[in-house]
Structure formats: C-alpha cells, structure tokens
C-alpha cells in the first residue's frame, strides 16, 4: 500500500507521515530531505544555487544514506531546497528513487509536495495536509527555537509565504492537491488530534 501525503511547508505532513508509517509498519520517506540534501552538497561545495546543471549533476549522484543529518532540517536548507526543487532535471533525477522506495512491501508512506500528483499518482491513499500560514509559521518558529536557532516569527512567516508562492506557481510539479486527494486542515489540531484525523481518513479510504 502507498500513502501519499502532500502539503505546504510546516503543515505537519512530515510528522503525520512518520507516525502513520510507524502505525502501519510501513517505510517512510520525507522526500523534501532529498532536495535539502542536494542543496547541502551545493552549499558545502560553494556552488551557486542558480546553477541548474550543477544541481542536476548533484541530484544524479546524491548519497541518500545521510538524510538524518540535522543540518537538513534548518531554515537555510529549506529555503535553498525550495529554489532547486523548481528545476525539472533535478526532479527527474530524484523521481526514480522515490518511486522505487514507494514500491517496497508491505507499504510505504511518502510526504512532499508532488507525491499524489507526480511521484505516486496511483497511490492507494492521498492526503493533502494544510494549515494557515500564520499557524505554520508559529510551529516552525517553535521548532527552530528548540534546535537553538534564534529567528523572528515575522521572518519565518515571510519565508513561508514566499515558499508557498514559489511552490504553487512553479512550472514544474506545482504544489496542489491531487484531484482525488483528501484535504485535512490541521490549523486547529494539535499533533495527536491531527494524527487521529489522518489515521481515520486512511482507514476509511482502504476499508
């Protein structure tokens, strides 16, 4: 079984993906980490993020064994990943790995921005997780503060709005719910309530 979870930054899709995978005993992939990992290599090698050819080359040779690097969760990598994720060659280079991951038994949960529309259009369950920009900024602010990253809420809110604009309006795999996706607004839900709501939706879909 394949569960596809899409949604904008800080909507809670990653947390839901992880918890649903644990509940069902499925593998889990936060596909955004792939783009963050490409950005990390480029930044470490001082390659301009605007260099599309270099980004493609990095994606083709990406080592996916270090996706647990804490650096990938930082705000810098998130912004950089949002830039390079708009490059079609980069997306093409990472697509095969994502689809192969999704096919492993007994099932897989993938979260990102184009899972239900591009990566796994035939997924058994498609969820689109959303929340207001203000709530998503609040969550991201708390998350970064816990990691020791000092930043202002208004700065994060501005970043989220820019990323939403970029992700939703890019020519390549724009952020949008699949036609058959179920939308879950988590604005007023805490982590536990959001998980229970998502679990109920998955169970109802596959019943």
Give dist(CA 125, CA 105) in Å, integer. Answer: 16
State yes or no: 9 annotated in a binding site: yes
- Give all strands of the β-sheet with 27-30 in edge-to-edge order: 27-30, 108-112, 2-6, 125-130, 182-185
State yes or no: 11 annotated in a binding site: yes
State yes or no: 8 annotated in a binding site: yes
State yes or no: 112 annotated in a binding site: no
State yes or no: 86 annotated in a binding site: no
State yes or no: 75 annotated in a binding site: no
Contact yes or no for 3/101 (Cβ under 8 A):
no
State yes or no: 12 annotated in a binding site: yes
Sign of CA dihedral 94, 85, 81, 39: positive
Sequence ranges of the binding site for ATP: 7-15
Sequence ranges of the binding site: 7-15
């Amino acid at each position: 079984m394949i569960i596809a979870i899409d949604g904008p930054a800080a909507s809670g899709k990653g947390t839901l993906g992880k918890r649903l995978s644990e509940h069902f005993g499925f593998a889990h992939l936060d596909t955004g980490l792939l783009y963050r990992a490409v950005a990390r290599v480029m930044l470490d090698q001082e390659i301009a993020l605007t260099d599309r050819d270099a980004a493609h080359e990095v994606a083709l040779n990406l080592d996916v064994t270090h996706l647990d690097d804490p650096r990938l969760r930082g705000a810098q990598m998130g912004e950089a990943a949002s830039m390079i994720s708009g490059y079609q060659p980069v997306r093409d280079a990472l697509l095969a790995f994502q689809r192969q991951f999704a096919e492993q038994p007994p099932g897989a949960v993938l979260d990102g921005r184009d899972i239900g529309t591009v990566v796994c259009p035939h997924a058994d369950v498609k969820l689109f997780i959303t929340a207001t920009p203000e709530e998503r900024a609040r969550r991201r602010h708390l998350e970064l503060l816990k990691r020791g990253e000092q930043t202002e809420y208004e700065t994060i809110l501005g970043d989220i709005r820019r990323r939403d604009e970029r992700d939703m309006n890019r020519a390549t795999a724009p952020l949008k719910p699949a036609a058959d996706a179920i939308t879950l607004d988590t604005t007023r839900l805490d982590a536990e309530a959001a998980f229970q709501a998502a679990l109920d939706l998955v169970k109802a879909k596959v019943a």
